């Protein structure tokens, strides 16, 4: 049995390469080792994310910028304000939930699109910068960080109830769109990338 792998050459075209039985035998241990290493690495990343989120939550609590999930439920039932969910990765968490009493869509001077388009298209950078500086920035933002419940039942109920609310999903500042901001929680001026 011969397997063909598509490898990209210098022209950008894919050229299939024949990999014989020997090549497959050499490739198999690499795949098994990679699979075995991915489990502890993903657990370490998840642990690191949790620690960072706890520190961030504590920082916001000290600044008086948090609200309980019960308080958010009250706001949801009265259809008050907007929830902003800030995603650290494209399809995975952690996700920070923010609440603002403002109607985001009425106040926003930029066109809004779906979350995936915002993540992939630099044309929406002004929207993300405006949202970050106005609402989710630890230093200049005015939105309140929601302390999500530990109980899964309460979290499931909260997720169902947010359908009644104005909701915005955005990529987290510093992850994809704001490479100039990567790894630092302070506001910096962005270097001029256009010449």
In tens, the pLDDT along 26-71 reads 888 888 998 899 899 989 988 988 899 899 999 999 999 999 888 8
CB contact at 8 A, 1 and 10: no
Contact 72, 157 (CB under 8 A): no
pTM as predicted = 0.69
Beta partners for 16?
Answer: 6
Q: How far is CA 30 from the centre of its chain?
A: 30
For the chain, the structural domain boundaries read 19-62, 65-181
**79-117 per-position pLDDT tens digit:** 888 999 888 777 777 888 899 998 888 898 888 888 788
Reported as a single tens digit per residue, the pLDDT across 180-193 is: 443 433 333 344 44
E runs forming strands in the chain: 3-8, 14-19, 66-68, 82-87, 95-100, 144-147, 166-171
CB contact burial 109-140 (16+ within 10 A = b; e otherwise): eeeeeebeebbeeeebeebbbebbebbbbbee
């Amino acid at each position: 049995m011969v397997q063909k792998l598509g490898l990209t050459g210098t022209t950008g075209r894919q050229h299939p390469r024949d990999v014989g039985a020997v090549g497959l035998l050499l490739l198999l241990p690499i795949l098994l080792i990679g699979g075995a290493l991915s489990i502890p690495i993903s657990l370490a990343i998840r642990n690191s994310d949790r620690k960072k989120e706890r520190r961030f939550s504590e920082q916001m609590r000290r600044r008086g910028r948090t609200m309980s999930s019960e308080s958010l439920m009250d706001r949801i039932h009265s259809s008050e304000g907007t929830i902003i969910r800030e995603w650290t990765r494209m399809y995975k968490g952690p996700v920070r939930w923010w609440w603002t009493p403002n109607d985001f869509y009425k106040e926003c001077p930029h066109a809004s699109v779906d979350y995936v388009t915002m993540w992939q298209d630099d044309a929406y950078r002004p929207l993300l910068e405006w949202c970050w500086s106005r609402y989710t920035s630890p230093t200049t933002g005015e939105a309140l960080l929601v302390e999500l419940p530990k109980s899964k039942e309460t979290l499931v109920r909260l997720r169902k109830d947010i359908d009644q609310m104005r909701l915005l999903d955005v990529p987290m500042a510093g992850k994809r769109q704001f490479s100039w901001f990567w790894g630092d929680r302070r506001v910096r001026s962005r270097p001029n990338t256009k010449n």
